[in-house]
Amino acid sequence: MDRFLYVAMSGARETLKAQAANNHNLANVSTTGFRADLAAFQARAVEGAGYDSRVYATASSPGWDATSGALRDTGRDLDVAVRGEGWIAVQDADGREAYTRAGDLHIGVDGLVTNGTGRVVLGDSGPLVVPPHASLLIGADGSISIVPLSQGPETTALVGRIKLVNPPADTLVRGSDGLFRSKDGAEAPADAAVQIGSGMLETSNVNAADAMVNMIELSRRFDLQVKAIRAAEDNGASSAQLLRSR
């Protein structure tokens, strides 16, 4: 009886964890460049003295979905999207290098380039700073060219280049801030093969319909496991009643 109860209890607990991960994905269905978390269930034996007679369920994350989201045209000069594989290098809250696919860039009054979440965008030699300009163009290789104020097109100047990297997906880990970093803490080298498109953004790779269906399925699974817990409780009470009646 206790084995039955333990399996149902651990299954209900892990289903709630999977539901939290799925709801997190669903909440970010409109987040620029978001990568969906993956979740998987496993059965594990309880280790210890005696026979392996106890099994419990676990919900673990094998990683994140590396597929690219759709590219959406915005017509905004400062919106960029990575075409295919690759990442935009930014600076995290601790000043370390991290990576994102969110290319909704902004230029502050001090000329510092940040993305939509306020992360400082890095160039090949540190944070990107763009001086006052009349117009701006971001090339496919991440180069930023401007026409200075009160100047003509013939004075176009290169002022920096967005650092674009392409480390293997299995070497990256997502942090609680949504940014990706190398597992060993090393900074990835710039990769000239990574290309970006200007005037567009990458949407989230979360499929809203699939996430909704998964949410319903997990909810039903949780209800079933709760019913199993109640059935185990009722069976235990009936067994105790039979023993008392003898």
Q: Write out pLDDT tens, residues 14-40.
A: 888 889 889 999 999 999 999 998 877
| Residue 58 pLDDT greater than 90, yes or no | no
Query: Phi-psi category of 63—alpha, beta or left, where left has phi over 0 and alpha has psi -120 to 50?
Result: left
Which of 57, 177, 169, 58 is closest to 115 using CA atoms?
A: 177
Which of 138, 120, 29 is closest to 80 using CA atoms?
A: 138
Helix (H, G, I), strand (E, B) or coil at 192: coil
Contact 244, 9 (CB under 8 A): no
pLDDT at 131: 92
CB crowding 38-70: b at 16 or more within 10 Å, else e: ebeeeeeeeeeeeeeebebbebeeeebeeebbe
What is the pLDDT of the chain when averaged over all its residues? 87
- Write down the pTM of the prediction: 0.81
| Residue 228 pLDDT greater than 90, yes or no | no
Kind plus residue range of the DSSP H or E element containing 221: helix 208-245
Q: Write out pLDDT tens, residues 120-161.
A: 999 988 999 999 989 999 999 999 999 988 888 888 899 999
pLDDT band at 12 (very low <50, low <70, confident <90, very high): confident
| Mean per-residue pLDDT, 42-66 | 68
